[in-house]
Structure 1
Amino acid sequence: MGEDLFWAIRGGGGSSFGVITAWKVKLVPVPPIVTTFNIPKTLGQGATNIFLKWQKIASMLPGELFLDMAIGIDNSSPSAGKTIRVSFGGLYLGTVDNLVSMMQNSFAELGLQRENCTEMSWIQSVLSFAGFSIDDPLEVLLQRNGTSGRFKAKSDYVKEPIPVTGVEGLWKILLESSAVLILTPYGGRMSEISGSETPFPHRKGNIYGIQYLVYWDSNEDSQKSMDQVRRLYAYMGPYVSKNPRAAYLNYKDLDLGVNIGNTTYEEAKAWGLKYFKHNFERLARVKARVDPGNIFRDQQSIPPLFP
């Protein structure tokens, strides 16, 4: 297919270039035993300070450990009232003994104990993170049932830890909404790959990514819910990447701009530079060679850029 086209479809949104009928994936080795855990912390349990520490160390933890965060509202205690809950979820490529020792040395503030952890095979961890029981048959992973849920997602990248004043302001906005945040640490293998090796450019220099999510059940709630997540996104502007304010392609955010018919390259920069940064121009030139008529397009597809 040519080196440029192969490069483009490995992270550039293959639907902009044609129909992909086959794909070959290179596997990587995993140990026979992995360990997972999930530890929730509320504001009363020191969630703010633990969050501040996580920002500084999550991207620098050993490559065998992935430790993300999910942030939302906790209404579980009527006497305590509504508060923030920060859930720290981890996957460690190894046994529980090694994990507990590592966490005591690098992130003792979280208070991880053996009883918080579960050892399993790697494929069982896939079941667990997908919301199934680790005892379920693996065939459930082949199910692709649709969902009627409605949601709005936005994204950001963070390069410097957010100060405590920014975090406390975030809590105030979250307490007035139904939105949730998922924070994914970078570093590790992500930082070892060049930002131009594939179209995905968000590599070295990012300490974590943020997904903002809000769900609703009825059409009457849609505008209120979308306003909530947009308010969160506006508040976070001073604390995230700039020039451009980067975004993650797989969390399609039509607020960034929409392709109306045959949008020009200059117009498409509104979202293209956020998703692809310096790789956007190369993607558009590949598009001009393989689909000059712009047959394959969608709401945020890559337009052709001719010489």
Structure 2
Amino acid sequence: MPAPTSSRRKLLVLMPTAEEHLAQFRQRYDVIYAPTAEARAQAVATQGAEIELVVTIGAVGLRADEIAAMPRLGAVAAQGAGYEAIDLAAARARGLTLWNGAGTNDSCVADHAMALLLASVRGLPQQEAALRAGVWRDALPLRPSVNGRKLGILGMGTIGLRIARRAQAFDMEVGYHNRRERHDALGSRYFGSVLSLAEWADFLVVAAPGGPATRHIVNAEVLKALGPQGHVVNIARGSLIDTQALAAALAAGELGGAALDVYESEPKPPEPLLGFRNVILTPHIAGWSPESVQATVDLFLENARRWEAGEPVLTPL
């Protein structure tokens, strides 16, 4: 096996990262920063033999051929909670240590989910546009409240639990669909399918993991079940909602509105949805705040320290 050219471990960083956080990585590692496809391919081809640690995000991932090209690789970390594009089978076959950033941005994502829900139901963008155009409230339709309404949550993980608590503080009734019923989801009603949840709910927040098992789990039937007064919010992964079905439901008046932070077309905007006034779009920033991003860096560095020391990591995959 080739010997490393530096006494410090080489860390490959595959996602866009602020300079202040790269500086923290550089305090401990010889950092190879490769946030683009071209830089990534070059880094693996020219320095793969020396790379011992990779940090990525769920949507960027790490492929099996890249793992094979890094014979010294010992650990792979997903900076956020998601890890759907990391080839786990290849990583585990190599015996790599795997971890993610679970828990670091849960509250920030839950806050953003509620902000999107409130903005969509209350029609805040439309009302601001009307005001700027000189239209006063008397000429505008009344928008419903969220209090007392039924909120469905698809995916009751740690983020889903936080969304549920926030919704309950708004006096909303909460239901959820999950791979299994959770007995710690206090005050929330379990539904055995996404469709039955949508039929019951006034609004639906998508908070489940991405991947093949959940692709287009929110389909035309689910959207129609929400109804013309229903709203859907997605802060999970773009793949969970069928974009074409969502556009069709909006065009047909079968859905009241949508507020999305994630898209199938990322980082390009969702073209089929851009013409709808009742669609709110944010650029996959639900988990981004100074506090949450720093927390992901801190957790990565602590897990890396534990890995190097032969200790169990805090958030293993």
TM bucket, shorter chain: under 0.3
TM-score (norm 2): 0.22
TM-score (norm 1): 0.22
Identify which of structures 1 and 2 has the higher relative contact order when contacts are C-alpha pairs closer than 8 Å and 6+ apart.
Answer: 1
